[in-house]
Structure 1
Amino acid sequence: MEMHFATMWEQISEVVPDQPVLINGDNIKTWREYDDRAARLASALTEHGLAAGAKIGLYIYNSNEYQEAQYAIFKISACPINVNYRYQEDELVYLLDNSDSEALIYHACFADRIEAIKSRLPDIKLYIQIDDDSAEALLEGSLDYETLIAQHDPMPRIERSSDETYMLYTGGTTGMPKGVMYNMGEFCNGMFMGYTLAGMPEPISVEETVAAVTKLKEDKNNPVTLVCCPLMHGTGVWLGSMVPMLMGGTVVTIHNHKLDAHELWQAVQTHKVKNIVIVGDAFARPMLDALDEAKEAGNPYDISSVASMQSSGVMWTTEVKQGLLEHHDMMLVDALGATEGSMGKSVMMRGMEANTAKFIINDTTKVFSEDGRLIAPGSGEIGLVANGGFCPIGYYKDPEKSAATFKVIDGARYSFPGDYATVETDGTITLLGRGSMSINTMGEKVYPEEVEEAIKTHTDIYDCLVVGVKDPKFNERITALVSYSKGGSVSEDDLIDHVKQRLSSYKKPKNVFFVDKVQRAINGKADYKWAKARAVELYTNLTA
C-alpha cells in the first residue's frame, strides 16, 4: 500500500475503531466515526466537481471539523490549504488565489468576511459552512457541513499515489504567504517521529504502521495529545495532529479560541493527556503561571499523565522549562525547524538541563557560510543552518524563491529557511535567529532572538521583542519592548546592564520600553511588524 495519510488512517481506523481520535469539549469522535464522516464529506466534494489535485481551503478554528475536513480532502487525493484565521480581506484573497483553491470550508463566524470577498474569488466553486456558537445564518450560496455529511454515503476507498503533493502555507517573517510543497510519501515518513519518542522503531510502510498501532493498542499506549497551538500552522497540525494519529492516538483541542492556560491544564487532567504541543514561551509561560496559581490556591492540577511537552518555531527558555519541571518530571522537547524542514532538537528533563537556543542537530543538518563552506565547530563563525535529507520540493508557483531556499551542495539537496547559527566545539549549534530580522548597528549584525534570550533571563521580565529603529549614528538602534512579570520592577538601566553581563556590549539595547503586553501572533510567534511600529512610535515620542 502507498504511503499516504488517507490510506494509513483508513487502515488505522480498522485497528482501533472504537477508540477516541478527536476530542473537543464534549464532542468526542471515535476512529470509526472519524473515517465515516470524512468519507461522507469526500463524497460531497467529488459530487461538486472536486477531484484529485484540487486545492481546498480550510478557514477553521481548532476543532474536530478541521481534522475531519482535512482527512476528507486527502481521501479524494486533493490538497488541503491552511488559511490563517487572522487574515483580513486582501490577505485572504491573495492566499486563496495564489493557492488556486477551488473550494473553501469555513466556520460560520467568518461568514461576513467570506461574503465580502466572494466576488473576488471566481475560481471557488464550493463554499461549505460549519455551524458554531456565533449564531451566524447559513451564507447564501454556501452548503451546511453537517447536512452534507448526513446526505451522502461514504466514498469507497481508492488507491492513491505516494507521489502526490502535500502543501502547507507559511507566512514567514517577511513577504506574502508561500506554499511549501512536499512529496506525500516522504512527508508521511517524516511524521513517524512519535514512534522514536515512544522508544519504538519508525515504520517504513503502511503494513508496519498497522502492526505498530496494534502493538500500542495491546499495550494500552496509544498517545493522547493536547494541541494548544493553531492547527492552521505546522507545529499544531504536524506535531499535534498528524504525529499522534499515525500512532492510532487521540487529538484533544480546546473550544476556546483564546489562550486559557487553566483550561488547557483542565483538559490535561480530564483526558489524561500524555503529550502536549505548544509554541515556545508564548504558551509555556502562561501555562507555568497557571500551575503556580493552582498550587498556591491549594488545588494543584493532576498532570501525572504527561510524558512530554513539545515545542517548535519559537524560543522556549531554560528558566521556563525549569519551572515546569518543578511541577512534574517529563520530557521537554524543543524542536529546531520551520515549515521548510526539521533540523534538530533540544531535550530537557529533571537532572538533564539544556541551554536556551542550543540544539543537537540531525545528522543531515549542516551550517554553511554564505559562500558555501561548512562552518568549522568552535570557530565562532556565523553561518546559515541547512536542513538535508527530508526536504521540501519547493515553493508553489515561485521558482525564484525556491531556487534561493532549496539548494544542491556537493550533490545533496538542502533547505535554507534563513536561520543563522554558530557551531560549538561539541557539534551542537547555537541558534541566533532569522537573517531577515537582523539589526545592523554600527556595521555589526545583531540577531534579535539572541538579545531577547538575554533579556528574558531576568526574573522581572515576562516577555520581550527586540527590533532595530533607524538612527543616524548607529544606522539602527537596538530597541527592546518588554513586559514585566508579576511584581517585576527592574529599571531600564539595570536591564541594559543585565544584558551587558551576558552579551558583547554592542548587542545591548540602546532603549528599553516597558509595555503592558508584548503582542504575538495566535501561534505564539513574534509579531515584529507590531514591535517595529510600536518601537518607532515610542522612540519618536521620547526624542520629540
Structure 2
Amino acid sequence: MIHSLSLSDVLADHARSRPQVTAVVDGAVRLTYPELDERVTRLACALSARGVAGGDRVVWLGQNAHAVLELLLACSRLGAVFCPANWRQSEDELRFVLTDLRPAAVIWQPSDTTTSLHASDAATTWVQAGTEYQELVASGERTEFAPVGDDEPTLALYTAAFDGRPNAALLSSAALIAHATTLLVVRQMEPGFTFLNNGPLFHVGTMMFCLATLQIGGTNVFTPAFDAEEVCRLIEAEKVTQAFLFGQMIDAVAKANESGKYDLSSLRFVSHSPEWDDMITIDDSPWCRSKMGGYGQTEVGGMLTFLGLAQGGSGFAGRPSPLVQVRILGPDGTEVPAGEVGEICARGKTLFSGYFARPDLNTAKSTHGWHHTGDLGRREPDGTITFIGPKLRMIKSGAENIYPAEVERALKSHPAVADAAVIGTPDPTWHQTVKAIVALEPDATTTETDLIDHVTTLLASYKKPRKIAFVDAIPKRGFTPDYDTLDTTHGGGNYPGS
C-alpha cells in the first residue's frame, strides 16, 4: 500500500498538517481538519457496526450538507461506495436507484418522496439526517481501519440514461484525486481556497470542485440548494473564492446584490457582465480566462479536456488533461485523421471504474482498450479538440442533461399513448426545453396537461415536456424515431455541440 493514496488518506494527512484550518462550514457547523477527521473515523466505525463493509453501498437522499462529504470520506475509509442521489427525482426514479444499488444504509432527509420510500423499505438501515445522524456519528468507537486501495470504487454518481434508465458511474479514490489535482492546477487553487457548494453534490460539476478544495486543504462551505440572496451572504461571510455558478445563476446573484449590500470581492471568478464584474474579482487563471471551458462527463471524473490548456486554439474543447490520453476513433477502433469526426475516446488516471452492475454496457463502452464517451468530436490541425455532439441524442436544459429515451419511456407508460418521441427546442433562458410528439392509441383521448402531469409523477420536474404535439404516427428511421424530421417539423434545435 506504499504507493496508494485514498480520499481518506488525504483527510488524515490534512488533520496532521493543517490542524488549524477550517475544513467545513455548514450553517452553525464549523469543523477543522482534525475535527472532520475525528467525525469521519467515528462515522466509519458506526457504519461498520451497522453492517456496512467493503464494497457495500451507502446512499444519501437529501440536499447539500457537510454530511455528504463526511459520508464519502467514511466510505473511502471503509472501502464502501457512497452515492449522493438526485433528491430532485421522482419517487419512481429514486426507487429505481435503491433497487439498483441495493444499499446497506440510507441516510435521508424527510420529504414526501423519501418518507414514502422509507416506509416501504424494512430491509435496509435508514438513518434520518439531523439528530439521528449526529447520534450515529457520536456512537462510533474510534478504531483504526486496514488500508483501502485507492483503485477501489468509492463514489457512485448516476448518469447516462442510455436505455431509458440511468447508470451509476463508479469512481475510485485514485481517479478522483487525479482529477482534483489537474483541476486545482488549471484553476490555480492555493491554500485558503474556499468553495461554496451551492450546486447539487449529485452533479459532478459541484463534486469535482468540492474534492479539489479538499485536496488543496481549503474550506468547503455548504448550503442546501441555490438561493441567490444566501449565496451573496455566504460569499461575504466566508470570503468565498469560488462557487458553482453559471449563466442564469450569475445573473440572479448580480440582481440580488444590485444595491451593493454584500461585499463579493473575495469571489475570484469568470467575467460575465459589467454589473457582475464590478462586484467580484476577475480571476486570471487558465480556467476562468477560458470561461470555464472544455469537455467532460461524469465517467472521466469531470473534465477530460480544458480550454484553459489551449488558449487561442482552434478546438473549443481545448486540450486533454495531462493525466489522460484522448483519441478520436472510427467505428473500427482506429484513429481518424485530424479534421475528421469520430467518437471521443479516452484512457488515463481520472477515468471511472465502470458502471455498477452493468457488465454488458461496460464491455461495450471499453472496446479496443479505450473508454468510449458516446460523444462525437474532431481533432483540429493544431491538436486541439472540438466537441461535435452526443452520438446518442441529448437535450441540455440549464445545467441538466435530459435523455429523450427516459422521457419517452415515461410518456409511453400512459395508457392513452401508443408512441412518443422527444426533442429539444431552443430556449433563450434554459438553452433548450423539452417538447414531446405523441401518437395516441386508437379511440384514446388525453390532454397536454394530463400527459405532462403523468411524466412529472415519474421523473424529475425539469425533465417534463413543456409542450406536446399530437400526431397520427411518429416518423421512424428503422425502429427509432426520425429525430431530424421531427426537429424540422416541430421546431427542434440548439442541441449540445451544434
Deviations along 1:257-285, one digit per CA (max 9) or x if unpaired, are 3x32332233222211223334xxxx333
CA distance in 1 between counterparts of 2:360 and 2:275 reads 45
When residues 264 and 162 of structure 1 are mapped into structure 2, their CA distance, relative to the original with a 3 A threshold, is: same
Amino acid corresponding to residue 254 of structure 1 in structure 2? T
The equivalent residue for 1:417 is 373
- The RMSD of aligned alpha carbons is 3.9
AA in 1 matched with 2:333? G
The percent identity for this pair of structures is 20
The CA distance in 1 between the partners of 2:282 and 2:152, in whole Å, is: 41
Deviation at 1:76, TM superposition (A): 2.0
Q: Which amino acid aligns with 2:77?
A: K
Partner of 1:399: 359
SS at match of 2:15: helix
- Which residue number corresponds to residue 197 of structure 1? 186
Which residue, out of 218, 241, 252, partners 1:249?
218
Q: What residue number does 1:83 align with?
A: 85
Shift of 1:32: 1.9
Distance in structure 2 (CA, Å) of the matches to 1:250 and 1:375:
44
* Aligned: 1:290 with 2:253: yes
- 2:129 equivalent in structure 1: 130
1:384 aligns with 2:332: no
Instruction: Give the direction of change, closer, same or farther, for the CA distance of 1:393–1:129 in structure 2 (3 Å limit).
Output: same
- After superposition, the Cα gap between the structure-2 partners of 1:173 and 1:79, relative to the gap in structure 1 and judged at 3 Å, is closer
- Alignment of 1:177 onto 2:176: no
- Normalization by structure 1: what TM-score? 0.67
Displacement of 1:227 after TM fit? 2.2
Amino acid at match of 1:276: A
Aligned counterpart, 1:488: none
Structure 2: segments with no counterpart, 5+ residues? 409-420, 431-459, 473-488, 491-498
Alpha-carbon distance between aligned partners in 1 of 2:344 and 2:355, rounded to the nearest angstrom: 18
Partner of residue 340 from structure 1, selected from 299, 306, 309? 299
Write the distance in 2 (CA, Å) between the matches of 1:479 and 1:52: 42
Question: How many Å apart are 1:194 and its aligned residue?
Answer: 4.3
Post-superposition shift, 1:78?
1.5
1:45 counterpart residue number? 47
- Residue 464 of structure 1 contacts residue 480 of structure 1 at CA under 8 Å; is this kept in 2? no
**Residues in 1 aligned to 2:295 and 2:177: alpha-carbon distance in whole angstroms:** 19
1:74-473 equivalences in 2 (<5 Å): 74-107=76-109, 109-110=110-111, 112-118=112-118, 121=121, 123-124=123-124, 126-131=125-130, 144-174=132-162, 175-197=164-186, 221-239=191-209, 241-255=210-224, 257=225, 259-278=226-245, 283-291=246-254, 294-295=257-258, 297=259, 299=260, 301-308=262-269, 320=272, 328-330=281-283, 331=285, 332=288, 333-341=292-300, 342-347=303-308, 357-362=316-321, 364-377=325-338, 379=339, 381-390=340-349, 391-408=351-368, 413-437=369-393
Other-structure match for 1:480? 425
Aligned twin of 2:481: none
Q: Secondary structure of the equivalent of 1:303? A: coil
2:234 counterpart SS class: helix
Flag the structure with more relative contact order, 1 or 2, with Cα contacts below 8 A and sequence separation at least 6: 2
SS of the aligned residue for 2:243 comes to strand
- Quote the offset at 1:537 in angstroms: 3.6
How far is the alpha carbon of 1:386 from its aligned partner?
A: 1.3
The Cα shift of 1:153 comes to 3.2
Q: Write out per-residue CA displacement over residues 119-161 of structure 1, whole angstroms, 9 at most, x where no aligned residue.
A: 754652x1111128xxxxxxxxxxx111223333333354222
8 Å CA contact 2:75, 2:81 repeated in 1 = yes
Aligned mates of 2:467, 2:229 — CA distance in 1: 32
Shift of 1:230: 0.8
Question: Amino acid of the residue matched to residue 245 of structure 1?
Answer: L
Distance 2:35 2:462 in 1: 42
Local SS of the residue matching 2:378? strand
| Letter paired with 1:242 | L
Q: Secondary structure of 1:419's partner?
A: strand
Gaps (5+ residues) in structure 1? 133-143, 201-215, 310-318, 439-447, 457-462, 471-475, 486-525
Deviation at 1:478, TM superposition (A): 7.6
Q: How many residues align?
A: 418
Quote the Cα distance in structure 2 between the aligned partners of 1:84 and 1:181: 16
| Per-residue Cα deviation, 1:15-55 (whole angstroms, up to 9, x for no partner) | 11222111123322221221122222222212222222221
